[in-house]
Structures are given as structure tokens and as C-alpha cells.
């Protein structure tokens, strides 16, 4: 089932798109367009539809928040069709030039992005009427970047926000980096969050503060349990959350609430390091997938 929802927020236009292999989409993703600048591109399984949606007002510039295939999936096709320039952080440029393998569920839901040349983003991007300032915000991914339009208080946040109380982490997400990145963004003034999955057009800064408090509570409580001598498995079990169990099953553990707790343990035991709970065991039979 394909779902397309047109988004109109004053001068900012966009679409929320999703495609379910069977039934409704498990997760939809948004991309936004303003003054010829496209922020993110949707996923490649809807390439034809996305190209048609952009046909009347094609972009001249693409700003990628990060390399994940649901955000970068159509960048190469849009560049080819409309001669658009692709920009992103230097880590995004490196990743898009030699994309890592994706897992079977990612193939099934979104499809693989195509490798493409990405220009490292400048200190600011001026569209003519608007100016976008990139802010490097690792945590959800190592290359994650948000774009702030200061004058209008707009934050194009990719996957920095998603929700105040998120239900799961990918296995490579780092809670300490997310906390630091959110703190960095909160130093700026903005009200509207143009999120990749859940737009928050009013009180966006307050909502992001709530997410920060949630993540800090998780990490703080984990730290207290470690001080009391709790073992890792005891800590994980105490935070047991079954609300996203179907996501964990679909992704074979690559996306789960457990990953968030494990990341919090890592950050308390060995700040700055990262060890995934699925290291060397996740998808051992799919190592050849591209």
C-alpha cells in the first residue's frame, strides 16, 4: 500500500510518503521543499513517484540530513533528472560515495540508495530568499546534520527529534552523542521542527527539550543502577519495553528499545566508545547484501 500526504506549512511544502510491502507502511518519511531547496529525498522504492511530485517545481539544491536510505534514497535520481546539486556534511559525502551495505528489512521497506557525489556543505546555504545554517548533530548516525533557517525559526531536523519519548534505537546509535547534539541545537532559537517522520510546527524547541530530558533520565537511571552493582542484563530487563517488539522482530534486533539501554550502559561504563549489542552476530547470513 502506498501513502502520500501533501504537507503545506506556509512557504515550506513537502510530502510524507510511505510504502508497505503488505498493508499500510510501517514508517513514513517526509521531505521538504522551499525556494528551490529540497531537504532530504525519500526512499528509492518510490523513486518514480517522488520525481513526478517534484516535476512542477524541481529543486536546484538538495540538502541531505544523513545517508540513511529513507532520507537519501532518491538523491542520485533527482540530481540526474533535474541537475540538482547534492550537499551534505563531509561524513555524509564520504558515506554517499561508498555506501555501506544495508540489511534485508531495509531493502524490503525502503530499497537501497544509489552512490552519488555530494558536495560538502558550506557554512551557510543561501537560496536567494532563505539562508540555511548546517549544524553537525551526530548520534542517530555518525554523519547526521540539521539545517536551521534562523530568521524564520525553522529547524529541518532529519531524525534528531522523531518523538519526545522514542521507543527504539538502531544498534549503531549513541545516546551520549544525541544528548550532546540536542544541547548544541537548543542553543539556537527556533520554534518549528520539520522532522523527517513527525513534523512539530509549534513549540518545537520545547518538544526537543523534552526529548533531551527523556534521554538524560534514561542515562542517569542506568548510571545509578551500575553504581549499585547491577549487571547489564539486569539493567536491560528492568527497562523492558514491549511497545515496539514488532519492530525488533522485523529488524532481527537491529532496531529496538534494548539498543537504547545498551547505548546508555556503554556511555556510563566507557564514555566515547561504542559496542553494539549485535556486534558480530547481526545478520551473519546476509553479509553479502548491498
Banded pLDDT at 150 (limits 50, 70, 90) = very high
| Mean pLDDT on 183-204 | 96
Contact 246, 223 (CB under 8 A): no
The yes-or-no verdict on residue 278 having pLDDT over 80 is: no
Q: Dihedral (C-alpha) 32, 34, 36, 42: value to the nearest 10 degrees? A: 0
Domain that holds residue 276: 219-281
| 215-268 tens-digit pLDDT | 999 999 999 999 999 999 899 889 876 666 778 888 888 999 999 999 999 999
The yes-or-no verdict on residue 287 having pLDDT over 50 is: no
Give the cell for residue 19: 510504502
| Mean pLDDT on 206-218 | 98
Banded pLDDT at 116 (limits 50, 70, 90) = very high
Domain identity same for 240 and 269: yes
Give just the sign of the alpha carbon dihedral 82, 85, 91, 95.
positive
| 152-174 tens-digit pLDDT | 999 999 999 999 999 899 999 99
Contact 84, 47 (CB under 8 A): no
Domain identity same for 129 and 9: yes
Domain identity same for 236 and 273: yes
Rounded-to-integer distance, Cα 214 and Cα 39, Å: 27
Domain identity same for 116 and 57: yes
Supply the pTM of this predicted model: 0.92
Banded pLDDT at 281 (limits 50, 70, 90) = very low
CA-based nearest residue to 109, from 1, 12, 183, 190: 1
Number of folded domains that form the chain: 2
Contact 92, 134 (CB under 8 A): no
Domain identity same for 158 and 229: no
Last residue in a domain, options 194, 216, 238: 216
Amino acid at each position: 500500500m502506498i501513502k502520500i500526504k501533501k504537507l503545506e506549512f506556509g512557504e515550506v511544502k513537502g510530502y510524507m510518503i510511505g510504502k508497505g510491502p503488505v498493508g499500510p507502511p510501517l514508517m513514513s518519511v517526509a521531505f521538504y521543499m522551499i525556494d528551490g531547496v529540497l531537504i532530504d529525498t525519500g526512499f528509492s522504492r518510490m523513486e518514480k513517484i517522488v520525481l513526478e511530485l517534484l516535476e512542477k517545481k524541481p529543486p536546484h539544491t538538495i540538502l541531505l540530513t544523513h545517508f540513511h536510505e529513507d532520507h537519501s534514497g532518491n538523491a542520485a535520481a533527482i540530481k540526474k533528472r533535474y541537475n540538482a546539486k547534492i550537499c551534505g556534511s563531509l561524513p555524509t559525502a564520504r558515506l554517499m560515495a561508498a555506501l555501506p551495505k544495508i540489511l534485508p528489512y531495509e531493502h524490503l521497506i525502503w530499497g537501497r540508495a544509489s552512490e552519488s557525489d555530494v558536495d560538502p556543505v558550506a557554512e551557510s546555504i543561501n537560496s536567494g530568499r532563505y539562508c540555511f545554517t548546517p549544524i553537525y548533530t551526530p548520534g542517530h548516525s555518525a554523519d547526521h546534520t540539521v539545517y536551521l533557517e534562523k530568521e524564520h525559526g525553522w529547524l529541518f531536523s532529519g531524525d534528531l527529534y522523531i518523538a519526545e519519548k522514542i521507543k527504539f534505537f538502531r544498534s549503531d546509535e549513541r545516546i551520549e552523542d544525541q544528548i550532546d547534539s540536542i544541547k548544541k541545537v537548543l542553543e539556537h532559537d527556533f520554534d518549528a521542527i520539520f522532522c523527517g517522520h513527525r513534523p512539530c510546527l509549534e513549540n518545537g524547541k520545547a518538544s526537543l527539550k523534552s526529548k533531551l530530558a527523556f534521554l538524560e533520565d534514561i542515562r542517569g537511571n542506568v548510571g545509578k543502577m551500575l553504581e549499585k552493582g547491577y549487571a547489564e542484563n539486569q539493567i536491560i530487563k528492568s527497562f523492558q519495553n514491549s511497545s515496539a517488539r514488532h519492530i525488533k522482530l522485523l529488524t532481527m534486533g537491529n532496531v529496538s528499545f534494548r539498543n537504547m539501554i545498551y547505548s546508555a550502559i556503554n556511555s556510563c561504563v566507557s564514555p566515547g566508545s561504542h559496542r553494539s549489542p549485535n556486534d558480530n552476530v547481526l545478520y551473519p547470513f546476509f553479509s553479502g547484501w548491498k
